[in-house]
Amino acid sequence: MSKVRPMNCSILLVVIFLSSLTVYDNPPLLVSAASHGASSAYEILQSYDFPVGLLPKGATGYDLDEQTGKFNANFNKSCSFSLEGSYQLKYNSKVSGYISKDKLSRLTGVSVKVFFIWLNILEVTRNGDDLQFSVGIASADFPVDNFDLIPQCGCGLNCDGETRKILRSPFVSSI
């Protein structure tokens, strides 16, 4: 089994986060931005202790079932971009999952290209100042402040000619 590089894991984890959300059997009590007191999907992320940079710029709306934590973020179209010129991320027009304090689980709609294959990011967990991204068989930790800026479709974090380096995790652990 080949090792996954830490930077590749961060992208992979973001993708898993966005692509592993599942639907519960109970009918959801959906909350819109206005009724939740938040005006955007990014503010919902922050209310659960996550940084805004987990989603790319352009979320057009969201739904949140406060009883189950089921979360959907909507975009006008699918989106892809590279980070540091090597990690590619893909977001579908709908990103879903379950959100609770410090945990995003069962994500769908986000994937990361690791070497030559696309992997779904399934879960993102916050542990203090680190985010752990899981693609099922592997996970990687990255500093939360790597995700303070919102990436843009097409250009990621290098839209103004300035490149922001993502700090790498010192290790990749397998699950």
Gap between the Cα atoms of 148 and 145, Å rounded: 5
pTM beyond 0.75, yes or no: no
Residue 84: its pLDDT value, please? 65
Which has the higher per-residue pLDDT, 67 or 29? 67
Contact 10, 87 (CB under 8 A): yes
Average pLDDT of 118-145? 91
% of the chain beyond a pLDDT of 70: 67
94 has a pLDDT exceeding 50: yes
Per the rule left: phi > 0, alpha: psi between -120 and 50, beta: everything else, 43 is alpha
Residue 1 lies in a domain: no
In this structure, of 19-33, 53-67, 124-138, the range with the lowest mean pLDDT score is: 19-33
Can you give the CATH number for the domain in which 167 is found?
A: 2.30.240
Domain containing 157 equals: 6-174
45 has a pLDDT exceeding 80: yes
Residue 28 lies in a domain: yes
Residue 73 lies in a domain: yes
What is the domain count for the chain? 1
The candidate with the shortest Cα–Cα distance to 130, out of 139, 143, 118, 120, is: 143
Residue 43 lies in a domain: yes
